[in-house]
Structure 1
Amino acid sequence: MAPEPTPFQHRSQPDWVAMEKWISDTVVHPDPALDQAISTAQAAGMPPIEVAPNSGKFLQLLVSIRGARRVLEIGTLAGFSTLFMARALPRDGQLVSIEYKAEHAAVARKNLDDAGVGERVDIRVGAALDVLPTLEGEEPFDLVFIDADKQNNSNYLEWAVRLGRPGTVIVLDNTVWEGAPMEPERDPVNAPGIRDSLQLLGSDPRFDATVIQTVGSKGWDGFALAVIR
């Protein structure tokens, strides 16, 4: 029986982390509701893979700039990024967030309700590729945030097109992954899916896209930003 692959290592630098914290404290100003999302995730034994506060605020601003009323999130975890985006929605807006694990969804639900944005968020539990078809026929989404299993990135992009419309903004997280997309053999679990999704964004005429590199507490990473044509 083949051994389990070694988990891919993300490496950070003290200066990156210090600057990220300074930016968060100076510009983003995390509050008790966001702190609760982090602490409850830790208490529940979730992996520390939520977006950094400055990235969460970026998502919030994108929702606001786009004037989004309908947002789709693939990957809820404890609701940290969900909370940022829900705060930017109008009173009649809705965020549909898909979470694979029911226990994670329960933690996120409490965090969102405690933060006062629960009525704007519909958490649907299950494998994303099972849940996404149930959203067909609903009002199109204005913004889609994808932060889930990397093997299905390209499938999630296809669903973003099906559930969106021209002008829909797509954010695909974790697309630099310590440079592994250039050498997928460095992380055979995640890197091939990331590489394939970036090639799709760059070659498919339905998308207009770029990739932004970032450094910080999550190491050397980044995100793709795309608009459906």
Structure 2
Amino acid sequence: MSGSQLWDDVDFYFSSHLTPDDEALQAALRDSEAAGLPHISVTATQGKFLQLLAQVQGARNILEIGTLGGYSTIWLGRALPADGRLISLEYDPKHADVATRNIARAGLDPIVEVRVGPALESLPKLADENPAPFDLVFIDADKSNNPHYVEWALRLTRAGSLIVLDNVVRGGRVVDSDSADPDVLGIRAAIELIAAHPRLTGTAVQTVGSKGYDGFALARVLG
């Protein structure tokens, strides 16, 4: 059995026991595929991990940067109380349209808002609204801008908030200090920012599974 097949099998084992079939989530994946969206959503086990993080955090306000088809948004939205709020930023209007329908089907439209446009334009507007601090920020957008997203996350959070960055390993390419890949450069800059920033403490975890070899970084905002 190949390594990748084994990863798939292990993912299936865990998801079949720990993340049972859910029509709203399955429909979100089906509709995203039918609309031609890229196959880059989190897995079911990763989505459940994000949901548990938000629940352990006691999150009432969540910011997501990168909506895609709304699959991860649904996982995160379900962690919120009835009076919670999730704002998700999506660059592509087509993706946002698919996500909005998927979120509504899941019954989360009263507490989830998808905002369309470049995140680096949406974030200053969001800051101008002086929202309640976000308890958790999930960053899963264009990796080249990750350091900018981390800086904005710091402005929009509080002491104790969590910042999660997805896809930080890139199949191991993150260790290539000579890389000219904008995504790798953005990830490395974000990791170095987290390491050096006096208001952040963090770690990173490598993962394997049906999405291949990758990983995530997790940072906590200090006082």
TM-score normalised per structure 2: 0.95
**Do 2:179 and 2:185's aligned partners in 1 also have CA atoms closer than 8 Å?**
no
Pick from 98, 105, 124 the counterpart of residue 133 of structure 1: 124
Q: Which amino acid aligns with 1:178?
A: G
The root-mean-square deviation of aligned C-alpha atoms, in Å, is 1.4
Q: 1: distance between equivalents of 2:180 and 2:111?
A: 37
Residue in structure 1 matched with residue 57 of structure 2 by the alignment = 66
Shift of 1:153: 0.3
1:124 paired with 2:80, answer no
Distance 1:187 1:222, change over 3 A: farther
1:172 paired with 2:173, answer no
Q: Which amino acid aligns with 1:227?
A: R
Q: 2: distance between equivalents of 1:46 and 1:103?
A: 9
Residue in structure 2 matched with residue 99 of structure 1 by the alignment = 90
Q: 2: distance between equivalents of 1:61 and 1:139?
A: 21
Q: Which amino acid aligns with 2:135?
A: D
**Do 1:185 and 1:191's aligned partners in 2 also have CA atoms closer than 8 Å?**
no
SS of equivalent residue, structure 1 residue 119: coil
Pick from 8, 12, 16 the counterpart of residue 25 of structure 1: 16
**Do 1:30 and 1:53's aligned partners in 2 also have CA atoms closer than 8 Å?**
no
- What are the residue-to-residue correspondences of 1:205-220 with 2, within 5 Å? 205-220=198-213
Shift of 1:217: 1.4
Q: Equivalent pairs: percent with the same residue? A: 48
SS of equivalent residue, structure 2 residue 154: helix
- Greater shift, 145-154 or 114-123, is seen at 114-123
Distance 1:20 1:187, change over 3 A: farther
**Do 1:180 and 1:187's aligned partners in 2 also have CA atoms closer than 8 Å?**
no
Q: 2: distance between equivalents of 1:154 and 1:87?
A: 28
**Do 1:98 and 1:126's aligned partners in 2 also have CA atoms closer than 8 Å?**
yes
Q: Which amino acid aligns with 2:148?
A: N
TM-score normalised per structure 1: 0.93
Q: 1: distance between equivalents of 2:101 and 2:181?
A: 36
Shift of 1:30: 3.2
Q: 2: distance between equivalents of 1:53 and 1:184?
A: 32
Structure 1 residues not aligned, in runs of 5+: 1-11
SS of equivalent residue, structure 1 residue 96: strand
Structure 2 residues not aligned, in runs of 5+: none
Residue in structure 2 matched with residue 201 of structure 1 by the alignment = 194
Q: 1: distance between equivalents of 2:203 and 2:96?
A: 31
Residue in structure 2 matched with residue 6 of structure 1 by the alignment = none
Pick from 145, 148, 167 the counterpart of residue 152 of structure 1: 145
Shift of 1:180: 0.7
Count matched residues. 219
